[in-house]
Structure 1
Amino acid sequence: MEFTSTRGEQRYAALVRAAAETVVGLDFDGTLSPIVDDPEQAHIHPDASAVLVDLATQVCAVAVVTGRPARQALDLGGLEEVGNAVGEAGKELYVFGQYGNERWSSTRRRVVGPRPPHGLATFLRDLPRTLRSAGAGEAWLEDKGLAVAVHTRRLPDPDAAFEALLGPVGDLARSHDLSVEPGRHVIEVRSAGMHKGLVVERLVEELGAGGFLFAGDDLGDVEAFEAVGALDDAGLPTLRVCSASDEESTLVAMSDVVVAGPEGVLALLAQLTADARDSRA
């Protein structure tokens, strides 16, 4: 792991001391699982389950906070089994899907979420025409129930297609009173009013957290990083971890620690677990 500053090292040391009261929030794609061409094949890193269960013994709670539907993240991550093991340790695993619109926990084992946003059905009806007009009619559409994602990763020039679509798709979304969340070769359209930063705030309030670590890799994690930054300003021990890639660098400037993809994230979490355990010895 690479600290971005001396202050980052100090934040890590403070978080180790506050580990028992700390909530660890983790993005899924690019953070716990590698980025792949087919999102339905983005299985969690093979070491993640063991690392998360061990981590849970040293912290207040672990939360996976993702733009994916919660059920999809549970299945791809084997997170129900992880939740069983975390529960046996007397701790809680949370999964917040669709940027916090859906919620699952290892004690209340069902996904709870709202109805699809008004306007999404008509947006989806009008979307193919917009894609064709922008010369990206072959972009892959992912209907998440509460959102629609337009993926350009499979196209011949995914970067150019993304840039060509961002404006028109955004305009169409706003005409249906929907919000736009750009990511790595994906444009997600969903209802306004919910984002990962609100999940951070909710967890701190509900659990009385005395510290917070959030690890992410993409533009969809910016609000979570901002919320963690506000907690730091308020005096809580915090750490912002960027799972870096060649495709997206926005979070690097906001981070305390930069690591190389899911393997780097898991190595950091394993180190945090070991350091927290040693600090209690």
Structure 2
Amino acid sequence: MRRIASRLYDAMGKKQGSYESESMSKSRNDQNYTFWLREHPSALTSFVEMIHMAKGKQIIVFLDYDGTLSPIVSDPERAFMSVQMREAVRSVSKCFPTAIISGRSREKVHDFVKLNSVYYSGSHGMDTIGPAPKKNSYDKNYQKKTYDNEGNEFIVFQPAQDFLPAIKKMLTEVKERTRKIPGVAIEDNRFCVSVHYRHVKEKDYERVEEEVKLMLANYPDFHFTRGKKVLEIRPSIEWNKGDALKYLLETLGFHDSGDVLPVYIGDDRTDEDAFKVLRERGDGYPIIVSSAPKETMALYSLQSPSEVQTFLTRLSMWGIENAATTHR
């Protein structure tokens, strides 16, 4: 019988032991995730406990876009959010101040989201539109006033403005350097350049990174960070998603307030800067979107954008029922 079973496994292109190995590997991964969930429990199962701390406080919602409001897709130009997700974001923004902080350019995120009830911060926080500050400790040379169709005043803050000429040069150069590597896609995100390699053969990954490094040798004021199958070329200034979060809290009048409860939901390494800010503040809820264990500063977790949608819907329903903690 053992020889017959072995021949059956061989005929299917597998050795008997490989099935046992795959099963054991899956079991270990499941076990690791179970342990990880103890440290980063689901924000859905913990919702009642979390929201108990919100009573009497102003909730402010911060959201990443890719992998949080939309699924990660092979073509970054088609990272569309669902109609249901848009409605969930719309609903939560009617209850609480809401901002989307993304590595994408601010204009691209707005085109994807199509909501005027939220604030937008693009290029990893280097291009932020927010309310006219109630308190303003930031360099006014990088701020300009703008108005919506109803005459409401907003402030656009762009701390990396001086780097735009160099970014335009790099955009042209990196396209030329990588044009012979099949599958590379270059995205102009205004204050940063995204080099996508999701469609690049694995053997060429190092080649992509090497070309980026060689180019940056001529641009000492820039560096790159890694995301999900993307290299992000950014100015080397002390500014990231965590700084954007702090800036928006200040412009909303809550930077030094003990009556605020920020919620930040994101899935990528760049979101860790915002998680760190909330951990250092000692208030608020950093929430990681992940279905696998990973090192993170987040306190809670959600498995997927669909769970993010459910969480936002529950939060907005709670906000409607508790109007005292909604927009002030």
Residue 283 of structure 2 is aligned to residue 240 of structure 1 = no
1:156 to partner: Cα distance? 3.3
**Aligned twin of 1:89:** none
Residue 186 of structure 2 is aligned to residue 149 of structure 1 = no
Question: Equivalents in 2 of 1:6, 1:102: separation in Å?
Answer: 33
The code of the aligned residue for 2:187 comes to: E
With normalisation by structure 2, the TM-score equals 0.67
Listed one character per residue, the Cα deviations across residues 67-94 of structure 1 (whole Å, up to 9, x for unaligned) are: 1111111111222xxx2xx4xxxxxx20
What secondary structure is seen at the aligned counterpart in 2 of 1:119? helix
With normalisation by structure 1, the TM-score equals 0.78
Residue 247 of structure 2 is aligned to residue 214 of structure 1 = no
Contact kept in structure 2, 1:162 and 1:186, CA below 8 Å: no
Listed one character per residue, the Cα deviations across residues 29-82 of structure 1 (whole Å, up to 9, x for unaligned) are: 1111111111111112221222122212332x1000011111111111222xxx
Q: Name the CA shift for 1:16/1:151 in 2 (closer, same or farther; >3 Å).
A: same
Question: Equivalents in 1 of 2:217, 2:278: separation in Å?
Answer: 28
The code of the aligned residue for 2:113 comes to: G
Larger C-alpha radius of gyration, 1 or 2?
A: 2
Residue 185 of structure 2 is aligned to residue 140 of structure 1 = yes
**Aligned twin of 2:89:** 52
Q: How much is the aligned-residue C-alpha RMSD, in angstroms?
A: 3.1
1:101 to partner: Cα distance? 1.9
Question: Equivalents in 1 of 2:124, 2:41: separation in Å?
Answer: 31
Matches within 5 A, 1:101-250: 101-105=126-130, 108-109=147-148, 112=156, 113=158, 114=161, 116-127=163-174, 131=178, 136=181, 138-157=183-202, 161-166=204-209, 168-170=211-213, 172-173=215-216, 175-176=218-219, 177-193=221-237, 194-209=239-254, 210-232=260-282, 236=283, 238-245=284-291, 250=294
1:155 to partner: Cα distance? 2.0
Percent identity over the alignment? 23
Q: Name the CA shift for 1:204/1:260 in 2 (closer, same or farther; >3 Å).
A: same
1:277 to partner: Cα distance? 4.0
- Alignment coverage as a number of residue pairs: 256
Gap runs ≥5 in structure 1: 87-92
1:239 to partner: Cα distance? 0.6
Match of 2:112 among 58, 76, 98: 76
Gap runs ≥5 in structure 2: 1-36, 132-145, 149-153, 255-259
Question: Equivalents in 2 of 1:126, 1:161: separation in Å?
Answer: 19
1:272 to partner: Cα distance? 2.1
1:167 to partner: Cα distance? 5.2
Contact kept in structure 1, 2:130 and 2:248, CA below 8 Å: no
Question: Equivalents in 1 of 2:205, 2:98: separation in Å?
Answer: 33
Contact kept in structure 2, 1:15 and 1:239, CA below 8 Å: no
Q: Name the CA shift for 1:52/1:121 in 2 (closer, same or farther; >3 Å).
A: closer
Question: Equivalents in 2 of 1:228, 1:171: separation in Å?
Answer: 36
Q: Mean Cα displacement is larger for which, 196-205 or 148-157?
A: 148-157
Question: Equivalents in 1 of 2:187, 2:102: separation in Å?
Answer: 15
